Amino acid sequence: MAGTSSTLPLALEQIVQRFQRVADPKQRYEQLLSLAKRLEELPDADKVPENKVSGCVSQVYITAELIDGKVQYHGDSDSQLVKGLVALLIRGLNDLPPEQILQVTPDFIQATGLNVSLTPSRANGFYNIFRMMQQKAFQLQTNV
């Protein structure tokens, strides 16, 4: 755990620390739901097949654009809990250059303590969302 924290982008490190301060799994879920409520609405026009995360039980959409060399993500889900995971990832990875996003490994989820509370399908969904965000960063990097 200590090894991953030094390589995490600052925003993601701060999110991990916020979750680490909460010992109760129910309160961690409440933190996720709070993140979900604050997530900016994704326009219906962006809810298209190329933005849909495959391998998720819930409907999840992620968009990305490059602005001044930094990736800007937007996303949504029909499940509030998954929407919270989307919000966590967006907050942690937004405003970073694609190269930095590609260096992040998804094992930081263990440092948050959320992994023990997620069902196997939600944990799998988290990894699929994370992978799609990295794929979009890679595509933006190669299209420059």
pLDDT value of residue 51 = 98
Q: How far is CA 74 from CA 1, 3, 4, in A?
A: 28, 29, 25
pLDDT value of residue 142 = 87
pLDDT value of residue 53 = 97
What does pLDDT average to in each consecutive run of 10 residues of the chain (144 residues)? 61 95 91 95 96 93 97 97 96 97 94 87 93 97 81
pLDDT value of residue 5 = 43
Q: What tokens were used for 112? A: 């948050």
pLDDT value of residue 57 = 86
Do residues 75 and 90 make contact, with C-beta atoms less than 8 angstroms apart? yes
pLDDT value of residue 144 = 63
CB-based burial, 83-121: b 16+ in 10 Å, e otherwise: bbbbbbbbbbbbebbbeebeebebebbebbbbeeebeee
d(CA 69, CA 143): 12
Do residues 74 and 42 make contact, with C-beta atoms less than 8 angstroms apart? yes
Domain boundaries, the chain: 2-142
Q: Which residues pair with 63 in a beta bridge?
A: 74
Q: How far is CA 136 from CA 23, 34, 36, 49, in A?
A: 33, 26, 21, 14
Do residues 95 and 70 make contact, with C-beta atoms less than 8 angstroms apart? yes
Query: Of 74, 109, 102, whose CA–CA distance to 90 is shortest?
Result: 74
Residues involved in catalysis: 56
pLDDT value of residue 3 = 38
pTM over 0.85: yes
- CATH fold, domain 2-142, is Sufe protein. Chain: A (3.90.1010)
